[in-house]
Amino acid sequence: MNPFYLHKIAIVGVGLIGGSFALALKRAGVVATVAGWDADGDNLCLAHQLQVIDERSTSLKGAVSGAELVMLAVPVGKMADVAIEVLPYMDQGAVLTDSGSVKQCILEAVEPLAQAAGVNFVAGHPISGTERSGASAAFAELYQGKRCILTPSEQTDAAALRKVEQAWQSAGCEVVTMDVLKHDRILAAISHLPHMIAYSLVNSVSSYDRYEENILDYSAGGFRDFTRIASSDPVMWRDIALNNRQSLLEMIDQFGRFLSELKKDIEQEDGERLYEFFLRSKLSRDAILHPSVRDK
Amino acid sequence: MNPFYLHKIAIVGVGLIGGSFALALKRAGVVATVAGWDADGDNLCLAHQLQVIDERSTSLKGAVSGAELVMLAVPVGKMADVAIEVLPYMDQGAVLTDSGSVKQCILEAVEPLAQAAGVNFVAGHPISGTERSGASAAFAELYQGKRCILTPSEQTDAAALRKVEQAWQSAGCEVVTMDVLKHDRILAAISHLPHMIAYSLVNSVSSYDRYEENILDYSAGGFRDFTRIASSDPVMWRDIALNNRQSLLEMIDQFGRFLSELKKDIEQEDGERLYEFFLRSKLSRDAILHPSVRDK
């Protein structure tokens, strides 16, 4: 018997992330009723038809009242505004959590509001996703074997933290707790920086104007694979860039130093240093494919 | 009836590129005998066992003598040295071509040597490949629907150029002829620059030392996909970086300007410009997936 059980949860934003969270908890048998709300009425209807949620609510109040746990799964740039709308309708002592990929700005904005409303806020971020979006993209296995990072503050209620941890564990995640700034720096490095690079690469190549034709037309499979993430949603990435500014700028500078080092080695035709640079990178990258025990 | 027919060709370096060229011409029925040579004796035996080549020769002389067309498919850094070894044994008036991914340095090194030896050199580069290597990786369909770029000079013999063009067309390629510097610039943009970026990204993230742990351990599927090309062979990329130095440096600077522009927009929290930057990139990148008629 799993002692962890929730009578009602509410998903605010029933897309890939929120919808998959609902499906995973239902499959784990740890929730009786999932209520859902979405800014897009059609998507909300679809989520209900596909049984991603059990109850669809046209008002935030109806969705979150009586819920022990409310999951905010809306874009990073909307998280604080939606929290402001949701909090007045939540039960005293209920738990509010989120899934945003930047955490410090959300924690700073939402935590004081939650405390004032008598609600326990726990900031979280599942390291998972696909390129698809919307309720129809949700599936119960999305989080299986993936990591979820929780970033509690000194004010975070221990019981609420435990509840959110158990929810993500029930969804299949390994849950890691860390300092909120560390989360934002790590995500800046492994996710936000690569997106900035991919966007910049595509713009730099498509703007190359020595020839009349667009040289992107010559790109083969390798370039297409490498720049796949440059096809990501511009609004989402504008919000992430704005909300993780300091950590992202730090990582852009870190990357710039290494690219400058490489450039200097090419200028100086230093074959030995070039070989070492490429080999070091290859070894680090190959090691990701054979993760340590900690990653299992 | 195809009027294009070769009685003997020789493949010098029977790996993925050279081996697939042999298999494609054999399947097209445009060659009677394929002789092969490889610096790696085991790989040469394998190529023969797998019928990638018809004759295996332990000497370059045996492989290339009597061949109407000799394909050099060795690493870029070895191309000129191998040409020097091969040319004395080639028939007068025979055609020498190569598959190197940098063309100006090879053209400048090999063309005068070939002219002195009475051999017609045509520089070429098929835009195709996989991550695998060696004769066992070769397959006849590798070039199907791909582009092959030929970079003739003013000295290039027209009949030899036509012969190499027909060979690549028989292998399934669309053959494009262009100025050698243009080739090297385009490849710097769509292939060499992305590799430099991927290597620099992995090194910059793995060297991030604010925390005791290696933050690469947190990387998920997206980062692994994006940095796949950083697992490429360091020797091959050292040679490419050294041999396409000018064009590559130009592209690194071009990329650096765009990354700096993006950095400035993040610093200034200019959401509108960030959105435009990401949208422009996304539209360019999405357009690659729907190529123009020219690409068909």
Please give the CATH architecture assigned to the domain spanning A6-178: 3-Layer(aba) Sandwich (3.40)
Q: Is residue A172 within 8 Å of A143, Cβ to Cβ?
A: yes
Q: What is the ipTM of this complex?
A: 0.89
Tens of pLDDT along B230-239?
998 899 999 9
C-alpha B146/C-alpha B143 separation (Å) is 5
User: Is beta strand A147-150 parallel, antiparallel or unpaired with respect to A124-126?
Assistant: antiparallel
Nearest to B208 among A127, A254, A288 (CB): A254
In tens, the pLDDT along B194-223 reads 999 999 999 999 999 888 888 888 887 788
With a CB cutoff of 8 Å and minimum separation 6, the contacts of B219 are: A190, A288, B205
- Does residue B291 have a pLDDT over 60? no
Residue pair B109/B123 in contact (Cβ under 8 Å)? The answer is no
Beta bridge partners of B122: B97
- Tens digits of per-residue pLDDT, B237-255? 999 999 999 999 999 999 9
pLDDT digits 0-9 by tens, A139-173:
999 999 999 999 999 999 999 999 999 999 999 99
What distances in angstroms separate CA B113 from CA A82, A228, B209, one per listed residue? 72, 43, 51
Q: Per mean pLDDT, which range of A111-120, A141-150, B131-140, B285-294 is the poorest?
A: B285-294
Q: Measure the CA dihedral A222/A227/A229/A231, to 10°.
A: -120
| Topology annotation, domain A182-295 | 6-phosphogluconate dehydrogenase C-terminal fold (1.10.3660)
- Give pairs for A81-84: CB < 8 Å, separation 24+: A82/A12, A82/A13, A83/A109, A83/A110, A83/A113, A83/A114, A84/A113
CB nearest A226 (choices: B194, B263, B275): B194
Residue A2 pLDDT > 90: no
Across the beta sheet with A55-56, the strand order is A55-56, A31-37, A6-12, A69-72, A95-98, A120-122
Which residue has tokens 């599936």?
Answer: A139
Please say whether the beta carbons of A58 and A52 come within 8 A: no
In the predicted model, what is the mean pLDDT of residues B263-273? 98
CA angle A135, A138, A141 (to 5 degrees): 165
Residue A40 in this model has a pLDDT that exceeds 80: yes
Considering all CA atoms of chain A, what is the largest pairwise distance in Å, rounded to the nearest integer? 69
For A111, the enclosing helix (H) or strand (E) is: helix A104-116
For residues B145-149, give the mean pLDDT: 95
Other C-beta atoms closer than 10 Å to the C-beta of A265 total: 21
Mutate: best of B141, B149, B199, partner A, most A CBs <10 A: B199
Q: Centre a 10 Å sphere on the Cβ of residue A125 and count the other Cβ atoms it contains.
A: 22
**Average pLDDT, rounded, for chain A:** 94
B72-86, B126-140, B264-278: least confident range:
B126-140
Contact A190 B262 (CB under 8 A): no
| pLDDT value of residue A295 | 39
- B286 CB-near residues (< 8 Å, 6+ apart): A231
Nearest to B220, CA basis, from A104, A24, A74, A101: A101
Nearest CA in chain A to B191: A223
- Residue in B122, B235, B258 with CA at minimum distance from that of residue B189: B258
Q: What is the dihedral of CA B206, B208, B211, B216, to 10 degrees?
A: -30
Spatial distance between the Cα atoms of B3 and B1, rounded to a whole number of angstroms: 6
Residues recorded for chain A? 296
How far is Cα B8 from Cα B286, in angstroms, rounded to an integer?
44
Instruction: Judge contact between A128 and A142, C-beta under 8 A.
Output: yes
Q: Which tokens in the block code for residue B38?
A: 């490889």
8 Å CB contact of B259 and A200: yes
CA-based radius of gyration for chain A: 22
Residues of chain A contacting B182 with CB distance shorter than 8 Å: 210-211
Its pTM stands at 0.89
Residue B213 Cα, gap to closest chain A Cα (Å): 11
HEC profile of B231-253? HCCHHHHHHHHHHCHHHHHHHHH
How far apart CA A145 and CA A173 sit, in angstroms, is 5
Residue B33 above 70 pLDDT? yes
Chain A residues closer than 8 Å to B225 by CB: 225, 228
Residues 6+ apart with CB under 8 A from B200: A255, A258, A259, A262, A281
Name which of A197, A216, A232 is nearest B197 (Cβ-Cβ): A197
Query: Residue written as tokens 């997936």?
Result: B289
Distance from the A288 Cα atom to the nearest Cα atom in chain B, whole angstroms: 7
Whole-number average pLDDT of chain B: 94
Residues A174 and B190 sit within 8 Å (Cβ to Cβ): no
pLDDT in tens, B115-125: 999 999 999 99
CA atoms within 13 A on the CB side of B263: 18
| Cα–Cα distance measured from residue A182 to residue B9, given in angstroms and rounded to the nearest whole number | 60
Q: Is the pLDDT of residue A294 over 50?
A: no
Neighbours of A15 (CB within 10 A): 24
One-letter identity of residue B60: L
**How large a percentage of chain B has pLDDT more than 70?**
97
Cα of A78 to nearest chain B Cα, Å: 14
Write the DSSP assignment of A204-253 as a string of letters: HHHT--SSSS-GGGG--HHHHHHTGGGGS-HHHHHHHHHHTHHHHHHHHH
Instruction: Report d(CA A90, CA A70) in Å as an integer.
Output: 8
Which residues from chain A sit within 8 angstroms of residue B246, using beta carbons?
A: none
B128 vs A contacts (CB less than 8 Å):
220
Q: Which of A141, A201, A280 would best serve as a mutation to test chain B binding (most B beta carbons within 10 A)?
A: A201
Domain boundaries, chain A: 6-178, 182-295
Question: CB-CB: which of A248, A269, A291 is closest to B266?
Answer: A248
Share of chain A above pLDDT 90, in %: 85
DSSP three-state, residue B263: helix
Domain B182-289 part of CATH 3.40.50.1000: no
Q: Distance between CA atoms of B59 and A115, rounded to whole angstroms? A: 81
- Its sign, for the CA torsion B179, B91, B126, B29, is positive
The sign of the dihedral angle between the CA atoms of A7, A96, A19, A67 is positive
Contact A251 B208 (CB under 8 A): yes
Residue type, B202: V
Q: Residues A212-240: pLDDT tens digits?
A: 888 888 887 788 888 999 998 899 999 99
* Contact in structure between B43 and B53 (CB atoms under 8 Å): no
Give bridge partners of residue B10 from the DSSP assignment. Answer: B35, B70
Chain B residues with CB under 8 Å of A280 CB are 203
CB pairs under 8 A between A and B: 271
Give the span between the Cα atoms of A100 and A86, in whole angstroms: 16
Q: Are A23 and A139 in contact (CB under 8 A)?
A: yes
pLDDT confidence of B2, banded at 50, 70, 90?
low
Average the pLDDT over each of A121-125, A236-240, B126-130, B157-161 and give the range with the smallest value: B126-130
Sheet of B55-56: strand order equals B55-56, B31-37, B6-12, B69-72, B95-98, B120-122
Q: Record the tokens describing residue B166, joined without a space.
A: 């027909």
- Residue A296 pLDDT > 80, yes or no? no
Residues of B in contact with A225 (CB under 8 A): 225, 228
Residues of A in contact with B230 (CB under 8 A): 281-282, 284-285
pLDDT score for B56? 94
Task: Write the residue in B127, B208, B275 that is nearest to A238 by C-beta.
Answer: B275
Q: Answer yes or no: do A267 and B249 touch at CB < 8 A.
A: yes
